[in-house]
Every structure is written in structure tokens, then in C-alpha cells.
Amino acid sequence: MDRAGRLDRRALLTGGIACATAALSGCSSIIASPVAADASPSPRPTTPSAAWARLMKGNERWVSGDLQHPDRDPNRRQFVAQEQQPFGAILSCIDSRVPPELLFDTGLGDLYVMRTGGETIGPVVTGSVEYGPMTSGTLLIVVLGHQRCGAVKAAYKSIRDGEPLPGNLQAIVKALQPAYDQAARKGGTDPVETMARAQVELTATKLRSNHDLAPLVGKGALAVVGAYYSLDTGKVEVLADAPS
């Protein structure tokens, strides 16, 4: 049996008992440590601050170009084929220039990723963000906005000019209204940039105080970070509540 096969068999043996008590998570929390150490060069973080540090290290590599492309080989694919336990959940924009797995230099099975225009949320998206923290011990949620966001810019113009966007695009505009209002109150020379940052902070605050996520945040099992990505430099900047 090759290495991947051994890992898979061990994962099944390890998971068999715990699976019975992990119905909600689909057994996704059962394979964490015993086999992770020899399947991955980078063991899964065990605290929100370690999870955040992992992401920031990856972003440093993205900025410098010294990429590791960790855990993207057939062994890793085999290792996570039956179960997953991502350490982070990223809510980011659909923008093609902001792919979380690349800009944090993460591997297969490391992240849940939700992407919507202007990282807007509604019940379905919020449920998807909640899934990891509520079922499999995901340690970190990152709300990631970005420079020159087209969705925010379009929503800003639509609201300012009182001209709704066609079809379902208007749903994105509506979801961005609170960020527009906050930016209008703040003022400044670049209202679209202010609105994009406000959207991150409002969304992170909303998730952090959410009925189901707040208790996890309260006991230190989860952190919800607001962050902002520069298209120019590739760097992720903290806007709110990075765990230390």
C-alpha cells in the first residue's frame, strides 16, 4: 500500500468511532491531528491566532513571490477526500483578481471560501459562512474587501444617482446600502474606497455578533477578522479584530 493509501486507511480507522457522534459535522472534525502531521508539511492551526498567522505568512509569500503552494499534491487530495476540517472561512468578493487560496498561499482543504459581489451577505451566504465554525471547529472567519471594487463602485453610483441596477444586480446594491450610508456619514475624498472599507467592517461586525457565532467568539474558539486586499501590492491589511 502506498503512503496515500496508508493515510486513507488510517483516517478511516481513526474516524470510524468518532463518526457516530459527529452527525452534524458529517464527521468533518474527526481526522484532525493523528494523521494530519504526516500528511501535511504544515499541521492544522489549533487557535484563531495561529490560523490568522498562517494566513498572513501565506500572504507575505504572495507579496514577495516566494510561494510554497502547500498541500496541493495527490497525497493531500487523498488525505482530504473523505473528510475535511478547514481552519478558516473566507468571505470575499467575486473579483477575479482576489482569489483567497492564491493570495493566502493555502492548500487543498484549508479554507471554506464564499464569494459574492462586494462580499455582500444574506441568509444563504451567512449560513454558508456559519457552516464551518458551527460544525467542524473552523477557527477563523475573514471578511475580505479589496481595492477598486467594481461591485461597490457600481452600487455607490446607483444609490447616489437614484438609478437601480437591472435584474438581480439590484439585490447587491440593496445589500450595500448600509455601507453607502456609513461612507456618506464619514465623508472624505474617496467615497467608494470609504464605502468598500465600511462594507468589510459592517459585515464582520454583523457576523461577529450573530446569534450562532457570537458564543464561539465569546469563548475564544472563533475570530472574525475584517481585512482589505490591495490589488496594487497584493498585501492584506487588517481592518478589524485580528487575533494576537
Task: Enumerate binding residues for Zn ion (CB under 5 A).
Answer: 93, 95, 149, 151
Q: Which of 107, 190, 184, 179 is closest to 145 using CA atoms?
A: 179
Helix, strand, or coil (residue 188): coil
Written as nine digits, the cell of 6 is 496508508
Which residue number, 95 or 110, has a Cβ lying nearer to Zn ion? 95
Give the nearest distance from C-beta 30 to Zn ion in angstroms.
36
Whichever of 149 and 204 has its CB closer to Zn ion, that residue is 149
Smallest distance, Zn ion to C-beta of residue 177, A: 16
Picking from 240, 146, 158, the residue whose alpha carbon sits closest to that of residue 193 is 146
Taking the least distance from each CB to Zn ion, the nearer of 43 and 234 is: 234
Quote the Cα angle for 109-18-47, to 5°. Answer: 50
Evaluate whether 192 touches 110 at the Cβ level (below 8 Å). no
At residue 223, the 3 state secondary structure works out as strand
Closer residue to Zn ion in complex, CB, 95/241: 95
Residue 77 vs 97, nearer CB to Zn ion: 97
Nearest distance in Å: CB 8, Zn ion: 39
- Which runs of E-coded beta strand occur in 10-168? 88-93, 111-116, 140-146
Smallest distance from Zn ion to CB 7, Å: 38
Least distance from Zn ion to the Cβ atom of residue 196, Å: 8
Nearer to Zn ion, 95 or 105 (CB): 95
Q: 3-class SS at 40?
A: coil
Smallest separation, CB 215 to Zn ion (Å): 31
Question: If you search the block for the grid coordinates 497584493, which residue do you land on?
Answer: 234
- Burial (CB count <10 Å: 0-12, 13-18, 19+), residue 173: buried
